Amino acid sequence: MSARTMAWRQLARVWCAALVGLILSGAALSQADAPPPAVAREFRALTWNIWHGGREDGEELGPARVVDVLRASRADVIALQETYGSGERLARELGMHFHPRGTNVSILSRFAVLEDISVHDPFQCVGALLDLGEGARLAWYSIWLPYSAEVWAPGTRKEGDAASLLAACEASARELRKLRAAIEQRLSDAKYAGVPIVIAGDFNAMSHLDYCEVALAQYGCVADFPTSRVLVDAGFRDAYRELNPRIDRLVDRTWSPRFADQSQDRIDYVYYRGEGLRATRSEVLERHAERFPSDHAAVTVDFRFEAGARAPSEVSLKIASYNIRHGLGLDGKLDLARTASTLRALEADVIALQEVDVDTRRCGGVNQAEELGRALGMHASFGAFMDYDGGRYGMALLSRFPLRSAQSVRLPDGNEPRVALAVALALDSGETLHAVNVHFDWVEDDAFRYAQAQRVAEFLRGLDAPYVLLGDFNDAPSSRTLELFRAAAHEVDKPEQASLTFPADEPAKEIDFLFCAPRERWSVRSCAAIAERVASDHRPVLGELVLRADK
């Protein structure tokens, strides 16, 4: 990670080359001595950069502590980086198979290695096809990526400068693109059909899922890191973020438990893709009874695997929209807990929220998007309209599905600045669903509102996956704003007796709507304005929909 570490790695390429023959011989740990294949319905995975072979604290003491951490983790398959001659010892003491490649990356596994499936640079990637039992297989990769500049050590980072952070991670993105393409090619043969893939390691880059608007106060900027997009855009899931939706920079960080004065970031990941494979639990490990032996924390992921499982032919979804009025009810009370309770009762999978405050004085400095996500155990994203009252004001989206990406689509200015919040969601079926949240201008003259709607319609035309469009349209069913979207998508109709959404206590207008597209892939089970009269000046809208698989 540091310049010193980078130099050490280059030197290691030279002096460790002499060890390659010995290390490769370690791959031949007696199969008779190895643990027998198991039927792996559930298993624990781990990735860890062990820092100079774990020997930073001594030739004997350091690796012994690495063994302690690995044994305590109860991991079944391990992606190691900076192995540097320690792999055989670790495998022997843990009773695991050892699968190396070169000097840096290696694999430890209690499952037998069926085949070497390595690609790309030996210093950066090793792959093994693992036998999970009863014919089930797993493609497991341990990788290490380079970086273009040091931005972690004190004095090397311009806080809040997204451009410099993106530039520092350019090398990792470049190499990962090559590596991903090579993996896809290597596993393109029909004999690998249905084999799930896990790519784990030290990526030396941060994530766009962390450096986002909802966590702006923690990271100081929003940065769409291309490294993390390489695998996410290819359908892989970031297991840790999927299972830990609340962003907490210190809890999440893997760099560095040894250097508190350096910038703390999450740069080690476990990505996975494949039918039948699901992550169920993930955590960061950084403790040892005496001293943690590496400058990187380890990441564990518990997986459940059902061999032969197939994606469902349809996905049932509950979609909601609610203008929460920053938690201010019609009784004059600011009560975000009441808002959370109202949302929880909806039992929705995706919730679009309008009029959301982040860190404003009027809301006591609370990040409402983050807090509502925490209260409901959902992933949260935020799109700011503008700075307001010491914080930011805008909209949010909550999802039980992991996020692939989120972006604020700037709309033409009206009475106030506006954005549409567009979030790509990873459905359980493996497909991507786009959820687009809108809150159009409220003034009587619809010129601003219609211009904003036209920009949203343009954005929707560019999507290549199913979408739902929902929010506070601030316009009547007969308006040209609504007609614009009816021309391209299916309106999720409400029954006449449950269609009015504003004001909440005595509703007289229908201004909150749901749409879905493409029409032929959706069916609607129900939709209604929910009779909540106090928590906001709007009533929430809840729709139950079914998304059918693409033919």
The reply to whether 298 and 160 lie within a common domain is yes
Strands 42-49 and 77-81: parallel
pLDDT recorded at residue 1: 58
pLDDT recorded at residue 187: 98
The residue assigned the tokens 């560019």 is: 462
Q: Cα–Cα distance between 494 and 496 in angstroms, integer?
A: 6
The reply to whether 138 and 20 lie within a common domain is yes
Per-residue tokens: 109: 């596994």
Per-residue tokens: 520: 């032929």
pLDDT recorded at residue 310: 82
The reply to whether 117 and 19 lie within a common domain is yes
| Beta-carbon count within 10 A of 192 CB | 15
The residue assigned the tokens 């403790």 is: 287
Per-residue tokens: 101: 């490649």
pLDDT recorded at residue 397: 98
pLDDT recorded at residue 32: 34
| Beta-carbon count within 10 A of 40 CB | 21
Per-residue pLDDT 10s for the chain (551 aa) are 543 444 444 434 433 433 433 333 343 333 334 444 444 689 999 999 999 999 999 999 999 999 999 999 999 999 999 999 999 999 999 999 999 999 999 999 999 999 999 999 999 999 999 999 988 999 999 999 999 999 999 999 988 899 999 999 999 999 999 999 999 999 999 999 999 999 999 999 999 999 999 999 999 999 999 999 999 999 999 999 999 999 999 999 999 999 999 999 999 999 999 999 999 999 999 999 999 999 999 999 999 998 888 888 899 999 999 999 999 999 999 999 999 999 999 999 999 999 999 999 999 999 999 999 999 999 999 999 999 999 999 999 999 999 999 999 999 998 999 999 999 999 999 999 999 999 999 988 899 999 999 999 999 999 999 999 999 999 999 999 999 999 999 999 999 999 999 999 999 999 999 999 999 999 999 999 999 999 999 999 999 999 999 87
CA 319 to chain centre: 20
Q: In which element (H, E) is residue 452 found?
A: helix 447-461
Q: Are 140 and 131 in contact (CB under 8 A)?
A: no
What CATH number is given to the structural domain containing 198?
3.60.10.10
C-alpha dihedral sign at 381, 246, 369, 215: negative
Q: Cα–Cα distance between 429 and 492 in angstroms, integer?
A: 22
- Structural domain total, the chain: 2
Strands 432-439 and 467-472: parallel
Could you say which DSSP state residue 18 is in? G
The reply to whether 481 and 338 lie within a common domain is yes
The reply to whether 72 and 37 lie within a common domain is yes
The reply to whether 328 and 266 lie within a common domain is no
Q: Which residues on adjacent β-strands are paired with residue 399?
A: 350, 379
Amino acid at 28: A
Q: Cα–Cα distance between 23 and 213 in angstroms, integer?
A: 46
pLDDT recorded at residue 175: 98
Q: Are 336 and 366 in contact (CB under 8 A)?
A: yes
How many alpha carbons lie under 13 Å from residue 43 in its C-beta half-sphere?
Answer: 25
Whether pTM > 0.85 for this model: the answer is yes
Strands 97-100 and 42-49: unpaired
pLDDT recorded at residue 167: 97
The reply to whether 279 and 371 lie within a common domain is no
Q: Cα–Cα distance between 229 and 405 in angstroms, integer?
A: 8
Domain boundary (305, 322, 356) is at: 305
pLDDT recorded at residue 10: 44
> Which of 56, 123, 112 has the alpha carbon at shortest distance from 86?
56
Strands 197-202 and 237-238: unpaired
Domain boundary (276, 305, 334) is at: 305
**Could you give the angle at which helices 368-376 and 336-346 cross, rounded to 10 degrees?**
50
The reply to whether 402 and 461 lie within a common domain is yes
Print the domain residue range for 365.
Answer: 314-548
The reply to whether 279 and 395 lie within a common domain is no
The reply to whether 369 and 469 lie within a common domain is yes
Domain boundary (305, 333, 366) is at: 305
The reply to whether 62 and 193 lie within a common domain is yes
The reply to whether 516 and 395 lie within a common domain is yes
